[in-house]
Amino acid sequence: MSDDVWAGWLTKAERLFVAVLQASSLLQGRENTLLSQMRPVIESLCGLPCDVATMRILASLRGDVIALEDENDNPDPRVVCQIGPNVRAAVSSCGAADNKRRRTSFGRGGSAVKIPPKVMEKHARSFREAANAFAAATKPRAPPELCTSAAPVALPEPADPSAASAPLPPLTTDILAPSAATFCDWIRSQPEYSGQLMCCDRRAARSARLVPLESSPLSESLRGAVSARGIAQLYSHQDAALRALSAGEHATGSGKSLVYAAPTVQAVLDDARARALLLFPTKALAQDQLRSLEALAEAAGCSHFLAASYDGDTAQVDRPQLRQRAHAFLTNPDMLHASVLPQHAEWASVLRQLKLVVVDEAHAYHGVFGSHVGLVLRRLRRICAKYGSRPRFVCCSATIANPLQHAARLLGLAEEGLALVGAEQDGGPAGERTLAVWLPKELPPSAAMEWHERMAPGGAKRRVSCLSDAARLLAHLVRHGVRTIAFVLTRSVAELLVTATRELVGEPLRDKKRLFGGELHAVVSTSALELGVDVGSIDATLHVGLPATMASLWQQAGRAGRTGRPSLTLVLAQDSPLELYFASHPAALLARPIEAAAANPLNAELLQLHLLAAAQEQPLRLPPPPGDAETEPELCTWGEWKEPATAAIKARELKMVGSRHNPRLECSELGAAAVRRISLREICREKVRVVDVTEGAMSVELETMEAAAAQLRLYSGAVFLHCGASYLVSDCDLDAGLVRVRREDTSYYTEPRDHTRVAIMGITRTLQPAGRTSQPAAAEPAPAVVPASEPVAAPPSTALATAALATAALATPTPPAASVSPAALAAPTQPAAPAAPAAPATTTVPASAVHFGPMRVSKSVYGYRQKAKLTGKLLDKCELDQPMKPHSFDTCGLWLDPPSALRDALEERGDAFARGGLHAAEHLLLSLAPLAVSCSVFDLGCQCTRRKGDEHAERLLLFERISGGAGSEAHKLRPPRRGCIAAELGPKLGDLLAAAHRRLLACDCGRPGGCPGCIQIARCGEYNEGLSRQACDIVLRWSLGMEWESHLPPLPAKPDAKGDGETPMLKGDASETETAERLCLVCGEG
C-alpha cells in the first residue's frame, strides 16, 4: 500500500484522537459519558465521523489514555479518558454503581476543563509515535478502515522499532488545525470573536513563469553554481534583468538577489581586478546578503572572490586591507557619503575598477532621505568619471507606482537609459493570499469610563485595546503552528506585544535568528523586517495598525507565502478615524492603489549642501562664457545647480578659484562646517546608554538610543521595556548620556505626559485664499464619510490627487491583487455610515491665508501615566518632582489665524475655543493627512498641551515632528526645505479640511467630546480632554468659508443673583494648572 494512503490514515487517526481528548474535557461536568453523547462533539470538532470501531482503534493505540467500559456487545459503551498510566486498571476497579468514576476522569472539577497545550502536545506526540510504529509493522498491507463496525484491531509488535516512518508534522493544540488559509474561517466560528472580522478577501494563487537555466545569459560556471543550489530554472523577471545587464544596460526591477549576485561574481570571474559596490538601507540586510554572495562565488569556483561588509562597525585597522583585497563591498549610503567619497583618493584602486553598483530596496529611498541618497549617488558617478570608470547600476525595488521614474531620479540618469523589469514581468510564484481586516470590539460605557478618571459616564466611545486583540490573535496563530511575523509601528508596542503574547503562550517570540532557523513560530518586529531580509517560510503577517502606505502594507504582507504556500494578511485597526473608517469599509482599503515613491534630489536646499560636499571632493567646474556648457553632467544641468551655487557663494560657503577661462568653485571653511552637519537620515547625533544595575548582577549595557527618543522613554519612574523584560528607571542623567535601570516585573507600562511649545521663527511663504465657495444655509451637507463617494474638485494650482481623498471610488486594483470580491465583503460588519451624496464640483480652498515658516518645537516631560500591559487601561497618573529639561528641534510647519470673533462667539457659549475647537480640528487633520500626502500619521504633530502663556495657542497649527537636520541655527540660515510634508500639504489643505468636516458629520457617536471615530486620537498629549464636537464643527465651517454663525448654540442663561456663575472645575484641573505653572518656572519658557 502506498505511503500516501497511510499518511492520510495517520492524519485522520491523529485528529480523531485529539478530538476525543477535547470532547472529554468539554463533557467533564456530565455524570455519564456514553459514546453516543460524545460522538456529536467529536465530529463537530474534527469534522470526521466516529463510531465504536474507530474508538477501538484509538484505544488499542493509546490504551493508557482512552478506554471503553462495557464494550463487549455494547453498541454504546462508556468512554473513559485519563492522563496517567494504566487507565484499564482504573476502569476495571470501578464499580457499576459508581457513576462518578464512569464519567470522564479528565481534570479535577465537575466543569469543563481546558487541556493545557503542553499536555496536549505530549499525548499527541505519544499517539503519533505509536501510530507510526503500527504503520511500519503493518505495511505493505492496507490500514484498517476508520469509522466502520470492524472487530477490535490487534496491533502487532513492529519487527524493528527503528523502522517507523517519518513522524507527521507537529500537531496543533487546537482542534480543527486551521492553517493560514483557513484561519479566518476558524475565527468566525468562535462566538467570542463574532462580528470582528470585517473582511476576508481571498486572492487566487499564481503559478511561476520559468525560463530554462540553459538559455540564460549566465556563464557555464555560474549555471553550475546555481544548479548546485537546487535551481534548475530561472524566473522570467530574473532572466530579463540578467539579459539587460549582460547587454551593458542599467536595470531596475523587483528585488531578487540573484539578479545582482550573479553579475557581481561574473565580473570577478572575467577580471580579477573588478570591483562592485552594493548599497543596502540597513546593516542587517547587508549581512544577510553577504552570506548568499559568498556561497554563490564559492559554488562558481571563484576561490579568490572576497566580499566584505564595510560599515561603521568595521574596525579602522581592517579598512586599508579591505580596500586592497575585497572585490565586493556591502555598505550603506551613509558610509558612501561620510567615508568613501570624502576619502576617494584612498579608494582610487576600487573606483577605477568599479564595474557594478547595486541599490537594493530602492523603494526605501524616498522623502528627504531618498533625496539625500539621490545626490550621494550623483556624487559617486562624478567621482567615478574622474577615475575613468562607468559602472552599471542595478536598482532592486518592491512594487511601487513609478519604478522607472524613481530609479532615474535617484541615479540622475535618463529614463531611456534604464531597462525596466516591471511587475508585469514578475515570474515568481504566489500562493493563495487571504487578506482580512479586524475591528476591535466597542467597550461598554462603564468600561470606557475607566480609561480616564475625569470622563463622565458615556463620555467616551472606545474600543478594546488593539494590542490586546493582537496578543490573542498571535497566540492563536502560534498554537495552530502558523509561522507569523507581527508588524507594529513602534519599538515600545513591539515590546508590549511580546510580553502580552508570551503570557498567553508561554513561549519566546523575539529571537530573529531562531525564526530564520525555523525554531520559532512568531516574531514581533517594526518595519525592520519589511525589507528583503530572507526570513524563511512565513505563513502569516499580522499588522497592528495600518502602515503609512499601501506599498508598505503589501511589502510587509509579501514576507509570507514566498514559497507559493497559502498565506494570511491580517490588519488590525487602531482607535483612529482613518483606520476605523477602513475597517468599516474594507472595500475602500482594498481598492487603494500603491503609491509612488517620492524623492526630489533637486531640492534647492539639499542640492546646495551636496554641492559643498562635491566641491570638497573635487572643485566644481563652472561653464565658460556664455555659460551654456554642461560641466558637471553627473550632478545635474547648469540651470539646475546655478541658483544653489549662487546662494552658497553669497553665504561664503563656496569660493571662486581659477582663471577666467577655467573658473572653478572650491569649498570654504564655512562650507566645510556645513558639510559636516549633513545627516542623510536626520538622526540625532547625541546618544544615551541604558545600563542595567540590578542588585546582585553585573552591570550590563542594554541599549544605546538617541537622546531625542530617550527623553520621551527614560525618566524617573518610567518602565523601560527591553527584549520582553521590564526595567524601572532608577537614575536618569541625559546630559551625561547615561540612564541606570533595574530589573523589575511590572503589570503596567508608562507613557510620558509632556508639554509642547511651538515658536514660529518667521513666515517664508503665504498662500492667499483665491476665493471662497460657500454653500447656502439651506444646502446643509448631509452626513458623509471620508473618503467621499465623489471627490471635491481641486484647483489646478493645488495639484491635489483627488483620488487620494476619494479612495472609495478608486477602481485601480492593488498589484498583485485581483479585484475585490463582493462575496468576500459579505461578512458581518458594523453598521455602515450613510452613503455620501455626490459632492458639488466646487473648488475647496481655506477661508484664511495659509502661512508657512520655520519653527522651533520644545518638548518637556512633566509626568507619566501607568497603563495595564494587556488592556491599556489607565491605572494611575504621576508627576515628576521636577520636569525634564526641554528637548528642542527645528522644523517647519503651517498655520491659519482664526478671527477673534470666532473665539469670542464660542467662549461666550461656554465652549473652549483653543482646546475644544482648534485642537479637535487638528486631530482630524492629523488623522486624515495620509490621504492627501505621502506621510505617516506620526510625521505631523500639533499643540496638544495648550497652556497659559503659549504664544500660538489660538492658531490652527501643524508641524513636522522630525528635525530639519540642518543644525540648531537652521531657521536663521535657510527657509524650510522645499518638498517637506508641510509645504506639500499647504496647497491641499482646503480639500483636507473639507474631508475632515465630512468625517465629523459622518460620525454618529453623539458625544460632545467625540470619539476615536471622529476627533479623538490615541496619541493625544492631553488624553483627548476638553475636546468639543460642536466647537470643532464651527471651526471647520469657518475654515471652509461656510456660514457658521447660524450653527452656534444659543447663549447660556445668565446666572442667578444668588449664584456666582462660575463653571464647576473638573476633577484634576487644578493640579494640571499647578503643573503648568511649575513647568514654566523651571524651564523659563513663559
Task: Render pLDDT for 154-193 as a digit per residue (tens, 0 to 9).
Answer: 333 333 333 333 333 333 334 344 677 788 888 888 888 8
* Residues 805/932, Cβ–Cβ less than 8 Å: yes
Supply the pLDDT for residue 461: 54
816 with 733, same domain?
no
Supply the pLDDT for residue 320: 92
CATH number, domain at 341? Answer: 3.40.50.300
pLDDT tens-digit series, residues 751-780: 888 888 899 988 888 887 743 333 333 333
Strands 197-203 and 433-438 come out as antiparallel
CA angle 528, 532, 538 (to 5 degrees): 85
Supply the pLDDT for residue 496: 85
Is there a domain that residue 1070 lies in?
no
Give residues with Cβ within 8 angstroms of 91, minimum separation 6.
Answer: 67, 69, 80
Instruction: Tell me whether residue 519 is exposed, middle or buried, using C-beta atoms within 10 angstroms of its C-beta: 0 to 12, 13 to 18, 19 or more.
Output: exposed
Q: Which residue in this structure is represented by grid cell 465521523?
A: 49
CA of residue 197 relative to chain centroid, distance: 20
Whether the CA torsion 419, 424, 429, 430 is positive or negative: it is positive
Confidence tier at 1038 by pLDDT (50, 70, 90): very high
CA angle 660, 663, 665 (to 5 degrees): 150
Give residues with Cβ within 8 angstroms of 647, minimum separation 6.
Answer: 604, 608
553 with 702, same domain?
no
Residue type (1 letter), 684: C
221 with 327, same domain?
yes
Is there a domain that residue 628 lies in?
yes
Residue 105: C-alpha distances to residues 60, 102, 109, 235, 978 (Å): 19, 8, 9, 58, 74
pLDDT (mean) for 123-138: 79
Task: Report the C-alpha gap between 149 and 1059 in whole angstroms.
Answer: 89
Highest mean pLDDT among 267-276, 429-438, 497-506: 267-276
Host H or E run for residue 579: helix 577-584
Q: Over pLDDT 70: what percentage of the chain?
A: 74
Highest mean pLDDT among 609-613, 861-865, 946-950, 978-982: 609-613
Give residues with Cβ within 8 angstroms of 1079, minimum separation 6.
Answer: 755, 860, 862, 883, 947, 1085
Whether the CA torsion 888, 1021, 947, 893 is positive or negative: it is positive
400 with 462, same domain?
no
- Number of residues in the chain: 1086
Q: At what angle do helices 283-299 and 220-228 cross, to 10 degrees?
A: 110
Residue 879: C-alpha distances to residues 191, 409, 994 (Å): 42, 50, 39
* Residues 196/439, Cβ–Cβ less than 8 Å: yes
Judged against a pLDDT cut of 80, whether residue 117 lies above it is answered with no
Is there a domain that residue 472 lies in?
yes
- Name 394's bridge partners: 251, 358
- Residue 394 structural domain: 210-425
Grid cell digits, residue 136? 511500519
pLDDT tens-digit series, residues 529-583: 777 665 667 889 999 988 878 888 888 888 888 767 789 999 998 877 678 778 8
Confidence tier at 9 by pLDDT (50, 70, 90): confident
pLDDT tens-digit series, residues 463-483: 777 888 999 999 888 888 888
pLDDT (mean) for 630-642: 89
Judged against a pLDDT cut of 60, whether residue 395 lies above it is answered with yes
pLDDT tens-digit series, residues 500-536: 888 787 655 545 555 555 566 788 888 877 776 656 6
Number of domains forming the structure of the chain: 6
Task: Report the C-alpha gap between 853 and 976 in whole angstroms.
Answer: 6
Is there a domain that residue 830 lies in?
no
Supply the pLDDT for residue 947: 76
CA of residue 431 relative to chain centroid, distance: 22
108 with 230, same domain?
no
* Residues 963/890, Cβ–Cβ less than 8 Å: yes
Q: Which residue in this structure is represented by grid cell 465504536?
A: 52
Supply the pLDDT for residue 28: 56
Confidence tier at 150 by pLDDT (50, 70, 90): very low
Is there a domain that residue 664 lies in?
yes
Return the number of other C-beta atoms located less than 10 Å from residue 268's C-beta: 24
Supply the pLDDT for residue 889: 82
Task: Report the C-alpha gap between 938 and 944 in whole angstroms.
Answer: 14
The more confidently predicted of residues 602 and 769 is 602
pLDDT tens-digit series, residues 800-838: 222 223 222 222 233 333 333 323 322 333 333 333 333
Tell me what the pLDDT averaged over the chain comes to: 74
pLDDT tens-digit series, residues 318-359: 999 999 999 999 999 999 999 999 999 999 999 999 999 999
666 with 541, same domain?
no
Is there a domain that residue 741 lies in?
yes
Supply the pLDDT for residue 164: 33
Residue 603: C-alpha distances to residues 335, 839, 976 (Å): 22, 36, 11
Q: Over pLDDT 90: what percentage of the chain?
A: 17
CATH number, domain at 705? Answer: 2.40.10
Give residues with Cβ within 8 angstroms of 678, minimum separation 6.
Answer: 337, 372, 609, 610, 613
486 with 540, same domain?
yes
Give the CA dihedral 1080, 1083, 1084, 1086, nearest 10 degrees: -40
Confidence tier at 844 by pLDDT (50, 70, 90): low
The more confidently predicted of residues 792 and 742 is 742
Strands 418-421 and 250-254 come out as parallel
The more confidently predicted of residues 869 and 856 is 856
What 8-state DSSP symbol labels residue 914?
Answer: I
Instruction: Tell me whether residue 825 is exposed, middle or buried, using C-beta atoms within 10 angstroms of its C-beta: 0 to 12, 13 to 18, 19 or more.
Output: middle
489 with 556, same domain?
yes
**Residue ranges in 954-1040 assigned as alpha helix (H):** 970-973, 981-985, 989-1002, 1029-1039
* Residues 704/690, Cβ–Cβ less than 8 Å: yes
659 with 803, same domain?
no
CA of residue 997 relative to chain centroid, distance: 28
CATH number, domain at 639? Answer: 1.10.10
Supply the pLDDT for residue 570: 94
The more confidently predicted of residues 834 and 646 is 646
Is there a domain that residue 403 lies in?
yes
* Residues 352/376, Cβ–Cβ less than 8 Å: no
Supply the pLDDT for residue 509: 54
pLDDT (mean) for 188-202: 86
898 with 1027, same domain?
yes
Supply the pLDDT for residue 536: 60
* Residues 449/456, Cβ–Cβ less than 8 Å: yes
pLDDT tens-digit series, residues 891-909: 889 999 999 899 898 888 8
Q: What is the 3-state secondary structure (H, E, C) of 88-124?
A: HHHHHCCCCCCHHHHCCCCCCCCCCCCCCHHHHHHHH
Is there a domain that residue 759 lies in?
yes
Of 425, 451, 466, the residue that ends a domain is: 425
Residue 120: C-alpha distances to residues 30, 170, 171, 268 (Å): 22, 11, 9, 56
786 with 727, same domain?
no
Judged against a pLDDT cut of 70, whether residue 131 lies above it is answered with yes
- Name 765's bridge partners: 852
470 with 416, same domain?
no
What 3-state class would DSSP assign to 365?
coil
